[in-house]
Structure 1
Amino acid sequence: MSPEVRAVLAMDPRPPRDVLVADLRERLRPHAQVHEEVLTDFAAPGARAALAGADVLVTGWGSPRVSAEVVAAAPRLRAVVHAAGTVRHHLSPAVWDRGIAVSSAAAANAVPVAEYTLAVVLLAGKRVLESAHEYARVRSRAATAVSDAGGNHGATVGVLSASLVGRRVVELLRPFDLRVLLHDPYVADADVRALGAEPVGLAELFGRSDVLTVHTPLLPETTGLVDAGLLARLRDGATLVNTARGPVVDADALTAELLSGRLHAVLDVTDPEPLPPQHPLWGLPNVLLTPHVAGSAGNELQRLTASAAAEVERFAAGRPFAHPVTRTALERSA
């Protein structure tokens, strides 16, 4: 018997995301009738007919916005399953107003971000970036003097926010001989300790950390949260890691600290993104810039498609989502 649930995909199907679309189609087929066309514009010819018959909308990167008008055009729609992280930018309040269930693969996408963070935290402790630059400059073992100033034995790692990624980072840090601090105003101290970290205030987090890693969602109240005052609390030689969102950190204040040479940084996100070609951070030996690569890529996309397909299977079977996104939760998450 063919599945009775009708699913419509809405995302950017162009390379390299065509791999995600193809895998998603294959995984969805046992659980739903999948509309042939991938929607990239809800106003395009044929899109309204597809929406009118959709029970579940499976979205991904590049999805057009699901506005109140789109919701009204989809009278059968009962669920939106996002095969990526945040739904903040493409789902309007009308989705929740209509009682449509929402799910996200944010937990699956958190895995590679946390793995990237773990890698750069350990490399930062070993002063690998600075050692590599010095080694290229002097081309002798004298460059080891840089790494001799660091080390991961008993070092302190500060984690800003117990987001999905932040929690995963704390978990990954457990096997290492590190002291882990965590600040999140929405998490009780007992819960922070249960995660395996020491609860601290925001100022103390910055004051005690050898490496400070940012995992705060970008919200109006978190824009510019990491300001000049907090950066000044970081000890000389400390490293700031940001895999969250660039605007969480005051860009001018961070640039000033990095130009002075007092701090180091590993930035997978910046403000703006990318930085202008002539921006001074491009040439600094104490800064590693990567092009937003911490999230899912390559074979890691299979986690996203597996998560989305599993949620559609639950929906088709009449079971609740494993990774629901509620309106209340969205107010404090990415």
Structure 2
Amino acid sequence: MNAGVVDDVFPPAVRARLEEAADIQPPHVVTEFTSPVARAALAECEVLLTGWGCPRIDVATLDLTPRLRAVIHSAGTVKTFLTPAAYERGITVSSAASANAVPVAEFTLAAIILGAKRAFSLSHLFRTRRTHRTAADLDRHPWLGTRGITVGVVGASRIGRRVLQLLRTLDTEVLLYDPYVGEAEAQLLGATRTDLDTLVATSDVVTLHAPETPETRHLLDARRLGMMRPGALLVNTARGPLVDTEALTEHLVSGRLDAVLDVTQPEPLPHDHPLWELPNVFITPHMAGAQGNEVGRLGALAVDELARYARGVPLNHPVRLEDLERIA
């Protein structure tokens, strides 16, 4: 992993647990797999504890690791660096994506609450006009606040499931679209299962938690964005390509929709893009995931997994080969 993230991912208490669970091969932090020192460490290691900035673990790297039995990733996706060939060699894979889901879900809930309250556009108006709000400022919105609204969750991913859990604290109706979730499971998650067209057409808030795959590119295209209710709020803390940015821009510029966008396509948007200046759009710099003191949660999960591996018990957060194509 990148040497600069080690102390954040493994703060002192977590690092101490790591050193209890495993013998750490020198040089401890490896940022490449080509030098003689790195190759010597790979030749002896049984577990690779990886993180942000991990070099690609391809067939050539696997050939250097005859004793490797597990890859435990102290971050989210493993798809960016791990070849499926690892599974063919019987290597167990784990990820801290569940830990990263916690701050994303919290951010999403905050975005839904503040967006439903029209806090972003009203704050912009307040800063510009510098006088108190009027009844007309509130009345111009088709609805305001979370009570009684319908929230549509797209994707029962790790993050999506945690968002569904947090939504139980609100007085809302919750719809769910996920092709891999049946009606009974959706009910257990506190939602009503529906198709995507129905979800976008009947929800006051649409929040995206699907992975980026060829099938999900522009999942919200011009047609589906046009189906959304006037005054609806779109929250995207997943991936920018899930939404057709050009089509979304038209609806946001007209004021027909509101949006909270932690991700965009492209990312960031061009300097002169109209979304930067719109009062009904709140854009954040891809920060919903673990940041600052939240990052240690990922390292703690990874060390828990390493300790379970050392005890010879099943891991709690495995990444299975059959799931790779449909997860983030």
Q: TM-score, normalised by structure 1?
A: 0.93
In structure 2, distance between residues paired with 1:188 and 1:178? 21
Q: Offset at 1:44?
A: 2.8
Q: Structure 1 residues 53 and 133 mapped into 2: Cα distance closer, same or farther (>3 Å)?
A: same
Asked if residue 63 in structure 1 is aligned to residue 57 in structure 2, the reply is no
Correspondent of 2:248 among 244, 254, 273: 254
| CA separation of 1:143 and 1:41: change in aligned 2, threshold 3 A | farther
User: Take 1:65 and 1:25, find their aligned partners in 2: how far apart are those partners?
Assistant: 24
**Contact 2:9 2:297 survives alignment (8 Å):** no
> In structure 2, which of residues 41, 44, 50 is the aligned counterpart of residue 50 of structure 1?
41
Question: CA RMSD for the aligned pairs?
Answer: 1.4
Q: What is the aligned length? A: 323
Report the CA distance between 1:62 and its aligned residue.
Answer: 0.9
CA distance in 2, matches of 1:22, 1:139: 44
Distance 1:97 1:145 in 2: 64
Whether the aligned pair in 1 keeps the contact of 2:8 and 2:293 (CA below 8 Å) is no
- 2:108 aligned residue: 117
C-alpha distance in 2 between matches for 1:307 and 1:144: 49
Corresponding position: 1:99 with 2:90:
yes
Relative to structure 1, the CA distance from residue 21 to residue 42 in structure 2 (aligned partners, 3 Å threshold; closer, same or farther) is farther
In structure 1, stretches of 5+ residues that fail to align are 1-10
Q: Identify which of 231, 238, 243 aligns with 1:244.
A: 238
Post-superposition shift, 1:190?
1.0
- SS in structure 2 at match of 1:46: helix
The DSSP-based 3-state class of the residue aligned with 1:81 is strand
Q: CA deviation at 1:21?
A: 4.5
Provide Cα deviations, 1:168-219, integer angstroms capped at 9, x if missing partner. Answer: 0010010211111111111001110111011111001001111110001001
Q: Is the 2:26–2:41 contact (alpha carbons within 8 Å) kept by the matching residues of 1?
A: no
Q: What is aligned with 2:8?
A: 19
Change (3 A) 1:142 1:159: same
Equivalence for 1:175: 169
Q: Is 1:268–2:262 an aligned residue pair?
A: yes
Aligned to 2:305: 311
Structure 2 residue 25 is the aligned partner of structure 1 residue 35: yes
- Would you say 1:192 and 2:180 are equivalent positions? no
Q: Distance in 2 between matches of 1:309 and 1:296?
A: 17
Partner SS, residue 141 of structure 1: coil
Q: After TM superposition, give the deviation of residue 291 of structure 1 in Å.
A: 0.6
| Cα drift, residue 246 of structure 1 | 0.6
- State the structure with bigger RCO (CA 8 A, min sep 6), 1 or 2: 2
Q: Name the CA distance, whole Å, in 1 between partners of 2:270 and 2:287.
A: 18
Give SS of 1:331's match: helix
Distance 1:278 1:44 in 2: 44
| Alignment pair present for 1:157 and 2:151 | yes
- Which structure 2 segments of 5+ residues have no match? none
Look up the equivalent residue of 2:9 and give its one-letter code: L
Q: Residue 145 and residue 83 in structure 1: after superposition, are their counterparts in 2 closer, same or farther (change >3 A)?
A: farther
Q: Provide the rounded CA distance (Å) in 2 between the counterparts of 1:68 and 1:293.
A: 33
CA distance in 1, matches of 2:135, 2:113: 17
Q: Distance in 1 between matches of 2:16 and 2:267?
A: 34
SS of match in other structure, 1:69: helix
Aligned to 2:81: 90
For 2:23 and 2:55, the matched residues in 1 are separated by 21
